[in-house]
Homo-oligomer: A and B are copies of this chain.
């Protein structure tokens, strides 16, 4: 079995721990966190560690902590062997260059405490400082996921921005619409089927071809009527997104 140490106690660390412990090929021998009380997701107390020098030899040390804490951890961490990999979408590979063997193991997904994750469908974006180390990370990634990608640091940064657009920003649009419906005493449930269909459509169409709506049709009456109903941030967002749709699809306001 491949011996793994997980470093961190957040959502990514928790979900990786839960996924790894289900695999017969992976053995999570320890989980490290500065504050041991946050390791409540680890059943076996003997596996919980809050001092770096208590970490045993492992094949993989997986760092799943906040971006801004990685530098400090790296400075204090001196494993005797194994590969050290981080799970960050934004941090470059070379932040780990003090180690002999290192890489990136970035799961491109949004994790929340309460919702279980099916790792088989989570894209794992891998990078390493050598072909051998990359092969090793691919081996581990393939044990838990069907979506394994080799992604360099520039590509990973592009993916991270893209993730903000497709996840954070679209979720915010859902929030703004939800608030707008609430004001009119309409339940958010009424919008759910439309949101679901927006995404289901992309199984057969690329998003460029799936675009519809008043901006694409250059339907000035509807656009004006909508803008009259909006104010503040909602009005600004409506304006810039309408312009952007028209710019991209070659329409004119």
Contacts and interface: CB of A to CB of B under 8 A. Distances in A.
Contacts of A174: 165-166, 170, 202, 207
A158 interface: yes
Interface string A218-235: 010110011001100110
A166 B172 contact: no
Nearest to A196: B199
A67 interface: yes
Copies of this chain, how many? Answer: 2
Query: Which applies to chain A's interface (DSSP): helix, strand, loop or mixed?
Result: helix
Interface in A149-200: 149, 151, 154-155, 157-181, 183-186, 188, 190-199
A172 B109 contact: no
A115 B201 contact: yes
Interface string A233-253: 110111011011101100000
B195 A166 contact: yes
Interface residues of A, number: 91
Interface string A117-155: 000011101000000000000000000000101010011
Interface stretch (A17-25, A46-54, A209-217): A209-217
A195 B202 contact: yes
A169 B180 CA distance: 15
A184 B155 contact: yes
A201 B108 contact: no
Interface of A: 67-68, 90, 108-110, 112, 114-115, 121-123, 125, 147, 149, 151, 154-155, 157-181, 183-186, 188, 190-199, 201-202, 204-208, 210-216, 219, 221-222, 225-226, 229-230, 233-234, 236-238, 240-241, 243-245, 247-248
